Amino acid sequence: MSNDGQPAQDPLIDEAQAEQRRSAAARLFDIRRVIGGLFVAYGVIVTLIGIFDSRAEIDKAEGVRINLWAGLAMLVFGLLMLLWQWLRPAEAPDPNERQPDA
């Protein structure tokens, strides 16, 4: 990593910076997959509940079929997250491949 315009020196910080070369952060998975997965699961469960909602449950929610709508909304949101990840996969955060200061 380039050190142009290096700010104040400090041994503790320099040590930590040196350790950065061993970093395994590039192996971090993409959170979009988890968010997408959980919301798809929630969407399916809540939509199904919504389809079979009884009159009493709809009346409790002021006549809104809230389970159906909320379920579908979560399903769409989850799928969008997965689609986003599929269309624009994460650039691996590898410190060695970063451009030096532009």
Partner 1 sequence: MDGDGLRLNMNGLDYLILALYFVTVLGVGFAARRAIRTSVDFFLSGRSLPAWVTGLAFVSANLGALEIIGMAANGAQYGVMTVHYYWIGAVPAMVFLGIVMMPFYYGSKVRSVPEYLRLRFNRPTHLLNAISFAVAQVLIAGVNLYALALVMQALLGWPLWTAIVVGAAIVLAYITIGGLSGAIYNEVLQFFVILAGLIPVTVIGLVKVGGWNGLMDAVGDTKLGEAGLHAWQDTGSTANPLGAHWIGIVFGLGFVLSFGYWTTNFAEVQRALSAKNMSAARRTPIIAAYPKLFIPLVTVIPGLVALVTVKGLGAESGDLQYNNAIPLLMRDLLPNGVLGVAVTGLLASFMAGMAANVSGFNTVFTYDIWQAYIRRDRSDEHYLRVGRWATVAAVVIGIGTAFIAAGFSNIMNYIQALFSVFNAPLFATFIIGMFWKRMSALAGFWSLLLGTLVSLSLYLLYKGGVVDFNSDLEESFWGAGLAFVTAVVVAVIVTPLTAPKRDEELRGLVYGMGGVDLKGDVLAGDAAWYRSPVLLGLIAVALAALFYIPVF
Interface positions with partner 1 (CB under 8 A): 1, 4-8, 10, 12-13, 15-17, 19-20, 22-29, 31, 34-35, 37-39, 41-42, 45-46, 49-50, 53, 57-58, 60-64, 66-67, 70-71, 74, 77, 90-91, 93, 95, 98-99, 101-102
Sequence-distant contacts of 35-39: CB under 8 A, at least 24 apart: 35/78, 35/81, 36/78, 36/79, 36/80, 36/81, 36/82, 36/85, 37/78, 37/82, 38/78, 39/74, 39/75, 39/77, 39/78, 39/81
Q: Could you tell me the smallest distance in angstroms from the CB atom of residue 82 to partner 1?
A: 13
